[in-house]
Amino acid sequence: MIAYIVRRLLSMLPVMAIVALFVFLLLHLAPGDPAAIIAGENATPANIAQIRKALGLDEPLWKQFLVWVGSLLQGDLGRSIFWGDPVTILIAQRAQPTASLALTTLSVAVTVAIALGVTAAARPGTLLDRSVMGFAVMGFSVPVFVVGYVLIFVFAIQLKWLPVQGYTPIAEGVGPWLRNLTLPSIALGMAYVALIARITRATMLDVLAEDYMRTARAKGVAPRPMLLKHALKNAAVPIVTVIGIGVALLIGGVVITETVFNIPGIGRLVVDAIARRDYPIIQGVIIVFSGIYVLVNLVVDLSYTVLDPRIRY
Amino acid sequence: MIAVAADTSAKPAPSVGGWTRFSVFARRNPTIVLGATMLLFMAAVALAAPWIAGDPRLMTPGNRLLAPSAEFWFGTDHLGRDVYARSVFGAQISLVVGLSVAVVSVAAGLAIGLAAGYYRRLDGVVMRFMDGLMAIPAILLAIALVSLNKASVWIVIVAISIPEVPRVVRLVRSVVLTTREQPFIEAAIGGGSRNLKIIVRHILPSTVAPLIVQATYITASAILIEAALSFLGAGVPPEIPTWGNMIASSRLFLARAPWTIFFPGAALALVVLAVNLMGDGLRDRLDPRLARRM
């Protein structure tokens, strides 16, 4: 098992190397002078020269790539052009709000989605099943920011139940922290719930059609334990796979949600960097988020052995 | 796959009794027809925009933040611009970007996927590259591409297409890998067909049905990403009205003038819903194994 984990960790390296190569080429193969583009339209030649030097654009391409990969391996993502601070520090400073948002959304969305999927699969074809499936199609179709503004308008502006926007650090109390995260988590989780509910229902329907489920029913296993113990356990592997793949939705959605709800996280860092053309920040966040995505899916792979004892590595 | 091809060719042809056949098709495939109708309506609105709506850029400061009325159906925004006109013109960008991304990413993914699936030596390298590309969140990749270039509709289309390509490549490759083991491919090789001919004549047709389904989902996701990019200020040039930049520019006025956000938001949700409904319907029809499952 440990050998397998080490092997899988090593297999992350080529994927991350390609991410790094791609991000690098993006900047260097862009048409025109990247330094001039980053400097913006009102830049003086001195500004441009300064940026070119800061990004090391004077060196030959292969050398730039090696230098860049070398510093990446040391955990150095370069310096922000606007702030002048190391990108790793800027990201670390904003990690808490983003991690809070992602984790609350993940836990709530997975619970709700599995509950919805199992209930729908237990009574296929009924009004309840159809409503869950209808909700799933809607959840995919309404963008995060539209859901966000509707939630703000109804629950914050009209009903005044929850704050309009902002973030309270968890150190100032779990209550206020959760109050601020409630609406953003619902907005961000919508598409994720839809995705997981759909796959849960589909795999549950497959499992429920198996012979051993008929046997269980014939033996007189009560409906609830049959659904949760016999069926859901056997449906776990595909569901967990989709939870892992769907993390991409969360990572992309964080950027938008933080803008809608004015949460000072990593997503806001990127969005502010767009207008300032602060490319080292965008580049650094891509590397970090891609790394998280690859790691999450590695954990998902490893969880298969726990979920299904037949799978051995 | 052969059964699928036969199935699609049995679609109603516009001939005598075409209407009866259509109503049978509509009863069997309500989601395709509902989605297609909504989408055609939106496309008609987008095409007819110059005739059915006024100037979307006209600012009349005297008419700031007016509620919906007979004169301004969807109200006006904080610069006194007609929200109805802007919503109607916004449909153009969403549909153009959605369809273009589907065409570009399917074309690129098809070429790469056929090559990777058929020429085994290419496969390893290409698929590792695709794995890396898939690890990058689509919206961040698009932000990076757009922020490095001058804002234009073209760069937005390219930026949204690139992250969609690996998904197409994987799909095409898997179809090629199963098809190439079929006896008729062996027969074609034995008969002395050239590689290119085998790919085009014998393998390509099997990819059509799953690609149609995939293309509709790509369209839906492209429309959502375009709107998100416009909303974040990394989209098409801001003077072009889009649903995303309408919502972004009105967000400070949500409490006073919710219509400035709700109308473009609803239009966006309806278009994506229409495309997704079509995708679900097409998948159920073209892929019998998945029918009634998802």
pLDDT tens for A41-56 read: 777 888 888 877 777 7
Q: Considering the domain boundaries, does residue A82 fall inside one?
A: no
Nearest to A141 among B145, B148, B272 (CB): B272
Kindly list the residues from chain B whose CB atom is less than 8 angstroms away from the CB atom of residue A274: 143, 146-147, 232-234
Q: Considering the domain boundaries, does residue A10 fall inside one?
A: no
Q: Considering the domain boundaries, does residue A4 fall inside one?
A: no
Tell me if B147 and A26 make a contact (CB, 8 A cut-off).
Answer: no
Give pLDDT, residue B101: 96
Kindly list the residues from chain B whose CB atom is less than 8 angstroms away from the CB atom of residue A157: 254-255
Give pLDDT, residue A268: 92
Check if the beta carbon of residue B138 is closer than 8 Å to that of residue B163.
yes
Place of tokens 């020269």: A49
A198 and A300 part of one domain: yes
| Distance (Å) of CA A97 to CA A188, A255, A258 | 14, 12, 9
Domain extent at residue A161: 90-208+236-307
A146 and A262 part of one domain: yes
A128 and A44 part of one domain: no
> Considering just the CA atoms, what is the radius of gyration of chain A in Å?
23
A154 and A53 part of one domain: no
Interface test with B, best of A69, A145, A276 (most B CBs within 10 A): A145
Nearest to B132 among A18, A149, A273 (CB): A18
Closest by Cα among B251, B266, B269 to B84: B266
Per mean pLDDT, which of A141-145, A170-174, A228-232 is the most reliable? A141-145
Q: Considering the domain boundaries, does residue A287 fall inside one?
A: yes
Alpha-carbon distance of A122 to A115, in angstroms, equals 11
Which of A256-270, B17-31, B82-96, B235-249 has the lowest average pLDDT?
Answer: B17-31
Q: Considering the domain boundaries, does residue A216 fall inside one?
A: no
A98 and A196 part of one domain: yes
Tell me if B132 and A14 make a contact (CB, 8 A cut-off).
Answer: yes
A135 and A100 part of one domain: yes
A190 and A54 part of one domain: no
Q: How many domains does chain A have?
A: 2
Residue A6 distance to chain B (closest CA, Å): 19
Nearest to A19 among B136, B139, B150 (CB): B136
Alpha-carbon distance of B173 to B176, in angstroms, equals 5
Residue B247 distance to chain A (closest CA, Å): 8
Q: Considering the domain boundaries, does residue A37 fall inside one?
A: yes
Nearest to B147 among A141, A256, A279 (CB): A279
Residues facing B82 on adjacent strands: B76
Closest by Cα among B65, B173, B174, B163 to B112: B173
User: Is pLDDT larger for residue B52 or for residue A204?
Assistant: A204
Nearest to B269 among A26, A141, A251 (CB): A141
A122 and A66 part of one domain: no
Nearest to A205 among B135, B228, B293 (CB): B293
Nearest to B273 among A141, A150, A289 (CB): A141
Check if the beta carbon of residue B127 is closer than 8 Å to that of residue B167.
no
Tell me if B258 and A143 make a contact (CB, 8 A cut-off).
Answer: no
Tell me if B232 and A274 make a contact (CB, 8 A cut-off).
Answer: yes
Alpha-carbon distance of B147 to A82, in angstroms, equals 15
User: Is pLDDT larger for residue A54 or for residue A186?
Assistant: A186
Q: CA-nearest residue of chain A to B139?
A: A252
A23 and A100 part of one domain: no
User: Is pLDDT larger for residue A79 or for residue A189?
Assistant: A189
Question: Residue B101 burial by CB count (10 A; 0-12/13-18/19+): exposed, middle or buried?
Answer: buried
Interface test with B, best of A8, A11, A12, A18 (most B CBs within 10 A): A18
A95 and A69 part of one domain: no
Residue A93 distance to chain B (closest CA, Å): 20
Tell me if B231 and A153 make a contact (CB, 8 A cut-off).
Answer: no
A34 and A141 part of one domain: no
Domain end (from A73, A104, A119): A73
Which of A89-93, A125-129, A240-244, B20-24 has the lowest average pLDDT?
Answer: B20-24
Give pLDDT, residue B203: 84
Tell me if B144 and A26 make a contact (CB, 8 A cut-off).
Answer: yes
Kindly list the residues from chain A whose CB atom is less than 8 angstroms away from the CB atom of residue B282: none
Tell me if B232 and A256 make a contact (CB, 8 A cut-off).
Answer: yes
Mean pLDDT of A115-136: 90
CATH number of the domain to which A299 belongs: 1.10.3720.10
Torsion over CA: A279, A282, A283, A284 (sign) = positive
Q: What dihedral do alpha carbons A72, A248, B247, B231 form, nearest 10°?
A: 30
Give pLDDT, residue A32: 65
Q: Considering the domain boundaries, does residue A84 fall inside one?
A: no
Give me the DSSP letters along A210-276. SHHHHHHHHHT--HHHIIIIIIHHHTHHHHHHHHHHHHHHHHHHHHHHHHHTT--SHHHHHHHHHHH
Q: CA-nearest residue of chain A to B271?
A: A141
Q: How high is the ipTM of this complex? A: 0.88
Mean pLDDT of B247-264: 87
pLDDT in tens, A267-300: 999 999 888 888 889 989 999 999 999 999 888 8
Q: CA-nearest residue of chain B to A283?
A: B144
A154 and A277 part of one domain: yes
Q: Considering the domain boundaries, does residue A1 fall inside one?
A: no
